[in-house]
Each structure stands twice: as C-alpha cells, then as structure tokens.
A and B are shown apart, each in its own frame.
Chain A
C-alpha cells in the first residue's frame, strides 16, 4: 500500500466502523426514525431531498465564504496595525477581547435589528466568528521573528516595509493557515447560527423547520450538508497551504 493510501485507510476505516455501529444500534434497539434515523435512511433522505438541500446550501455557502473572506481580511489588517503601533494595540486589543466574549448567538439579533433579515447580517456574523482566532494567530505569527533575523534586516539597512514583507509576512504564513483551518469550519457555524435567528433560506432554516415538523431524516440530511460544506472549505485551505508553504519543515 502506498504511503498516501495508508494515510487515508485508517480514518476511513474509523468513520465506517462508527457508521456501522450507529446502523446496528438503530436496528437492534428498534429506534423510531423520527427519534434517530439510521445512516442508510439519512443517505436515502439526502437523495430524496437533493433539490431542497442544494437550494438551501447555496445561500449558506455564500454567507460562510463571504464571512470567511471578510473576517480573515479584517483580522490580518488589524494584526498588521497592532504590530506596528503599540499604542493602538494597547488601546484596542482589549476591546477586541471583550467583544469576543459576547456569545455569537446573542450578537445575531442585534445585527438583524441593524441590517434586517438580509445576507449582510449573516456574513457579518460569519466574519466575526472568524476574526478573533485569526487576529491572535497573526499577531503571534508576525512576532515569530528571531532577534538575529531583525539584526540581519538592520545590518542590511532594511526599512519597516521590507521587514514586514520580506520577514514578518512569510514567517506568519504557517500561523495564518492554522487560523484559516479553524475559520473554515467556524464560518459555517456562524452562517447557520445566524440563519436560525431569522432567514428565508439556508441550511440553518432547514434545520429549524425539519426539527419542528419532525422530519428527522431531513434534519440529519441538512446536518450532513453543513458538515460537507465545512469539510470542503477545510480541504481547500489545506490544499492552498500545501501549495504555498512548501518550505515548512515537517
């Protein structure tokens, strides 16, 4: 077996074993479908409801991706400002920390009051949930330079812009990508949570509706879709990281 095939083999075996266990438990204990459907029933429900699911996946994916882009961009810009100005950092970093303690579910109604039941409020929620981990990671990344690297830049008479682009930014890339991995999954959570509070369409809406209508298979199918969305985004981040950060020593 090749090395990469071996890398895939164990996780797939693990997930499959859990699915088999789930199927067996549902069959053995004769659990009713509206309480908990079996994996086979969920797969059936995904196929049956494919057009509804895809129809609702679109808005959620758009919100999550836009929020991901917005939140991470703001985080990188803030981190850049904070490492260049200790004063601004002392003034505003605590404010960001305090803001981060507000539960995202409590923030949603506030944003809906301001922006209405629009896509904008959902994108902002998804962005806010991405912002903090990326900000903290980027500050750490920008500061992960050694004293001798800074002395090297100084002896070469490098200016601040060069120190940033030639040293701090490449240094921070591994930190950025570990933040983006976190953000890839949390941005989907942000989009779905914001849809619960109020939306016309989206996986979040589907989750709420199917719960109240006891369409448990559809509920599970929606959850699988949101999970697939997050996994796809996670995979895309990992792929881009693999292509860009070739120098990273394993």
Chain B
C-alpha cells in the first residue's frame, strides 16, 4: 500500500502551516515576528496557541485568517490559500475586544456578517441569529445595545456573531483576556459546550496556562526572541472527550508541563 500522498494530507487538514514566518519591513533590517512554524489542525480540532507577549501568536493567527500574509513558508486552509477561505466566508474571527458596532443592537450586530461581503453569493447555509444569541446564553437581550452589556456579555455577542455564518474555522485572539478569572472560567466552560455543539475547528490564542490546559486538544507553545514554535503537546489521550476537571491532578500536571516548556524558553532568552 502506498504511503498517503502529501497532497491528501494537505487536503484533509483544516489548517496546515509549513515553515511559516512573518517579518515586517523596517528601515535597517526586517523585524521578524516569528519564523519556522509548522503546525496542523484537523477539521473540528480545538488548537490553542500559547506563549508570552511578543512571540507572534496573534500574528500567526492573522496569517491563517488572511488578515496578514506570511512572508515565508506556506499557509493552507482546506488545501488552499487563506484568502480563498476568507472570501468563501469559511473563517470567523473573535477579537480581544468584542468589536461590536455601538449603534447596532445585539441582534443587529449578530446579523451583520449575513448583510455584508458576498454572503448571499457564497450559497453557504447560515445559522439563525436568534438561535446563536440563545446559544451564547443571551436570550432576551436581543434588543440591548452594547453599552448596556457587561464585558463578558459583549464577548458572548461577538462569539454569536462569529458563529452565525456557520464557519469551518473559528479564530479567537485572546477573547477572554480582559475578563476577570471567574467570568473567564465560565466562558471557557461555555465555549467548550458551544464547540461540541457546532463542531467547528477552533484556533485559540491565549497567554494563560490554565486556559490553554482547559481548552486545548492540542496546545502549541511558542517562545519569544525570536518568535518560534517550542513544542506541540497533544492532550487528547489525557482528556477524554476534551473534558477535564480544573481541580484534578491531570489538570495540574498539564498546567505544570506547559509552564516548564515556557520557562525553558525564558531561560534560553536570558543566556
């Protein structure tokens, strides 16, 4: 039996990064955000990117969403250029700040993705905005304006907005970074519930060890100076059905393991 061809592997992966790097032009020499990152995400997988500030994790996320172009290596989303996936509306993005339009109500904000771009011409099935609002637990607040909501609620709305196009890939850039820890834990619980329900591929950027340990099926640890991938840790064998109790020993072990990888990178930087 022949070995599976590289092309098949590329086609089957939701996201495939091969020796990807991003450098920004600057007067003296290019400013390298990160380089040599190779990583794959299977359809429906929950991948977490964790690393200290300045390791390029947000930049990496933006190359997958075609908000930035990689300057080296190749990024493939469902076997194609990220631009193709973006224009086909297969990608949604959740930003660090909720980025809701303040003149639109919750319902109008969630409807926005179906009203702009080429949505009607994509022929993709949408989800009902009302159902997405219920899914994120905001039933009854459809007609509220963003300034009438709490930070956590606003971020829920932005998740509902991201899901309304039924995306194949959901990119999340430290979405709960500005929230208090209790709210963050609760939203993490709900995010996993939503992920199970909608079955989309998620790439989630964070700098919180416990968030990474709790959410990820696969955790990619990145280091800084220069921005690079340190290690990819597969947690599927240790988290049945990607569920874990925050007070369990396993959770503690995973968190410590992630911390060790990060600390080693800090040690390198000090040398």
Q: Which residues of A contact B (CB under 8 A)?
A: 146, 148-149, 151-159, 162, 166-167, 170, 173, 245, 247-249
Contact = CB atoms under 8 A, between A and B. Distances in A.
Contacts of B101: 149, 166-167, 170
A136 B222 CA distance: 45
Interface size class of B (residues with CB under 8 A): 20 to 34
B118 interface: yes
B116 interface: yes
B87 interface: yes
Interface string B43-68: 00000000000000000001001110
Contact of A155 (B67, B103, B118, B147): B67
8 contacts: A148-B99, A149-B99, A155-B65, A156-B112, A156-B113, A157-B86, A158-B116, A166-B112
A154 B67 contact: yes
A148 B86 contact: no
Contacts of A146: 97, 99
Contact of B99 (A152, A158, A245, A247): A152
Nearest to B68: A151
B93 interface: yes
Contact of B116 (A156, A245, A247): A156
Contacts of A153: 116
Nearest to A149: B99
B67 A247 contact: no
B137 interface: no
A176 to B, nearest CB: 13
A154 B86 CA distance: 9
Contacts of A162: 116-117
A188 to B, nearest CB: 31
Contacts of B116: 153, 156-158, 162, 166
Given A146-B99, A166-B116, A155 B145 contact: no
A157 B95 contact: no
Contact of A148 (B65, B97, B117, B147): B97
A157 B118 contact: yes
A247 B86 contact: no
Nearest to B165: A156
Contact of A247 (B97, B103, B112): B103
A155 B92 contact: yes
A247 B119 CA distance: 27
Contacts of B219: none
Interface string B95-119: 1110101111000000011011111
Interface in B226-251: none
A247 B117 contact: no
A249 B102 contact: yes
Contact of B102 (A152, A155, A166, A247): A247
Given A151-B93, A166-B112, A247-B147, A157 B87 contact: yes
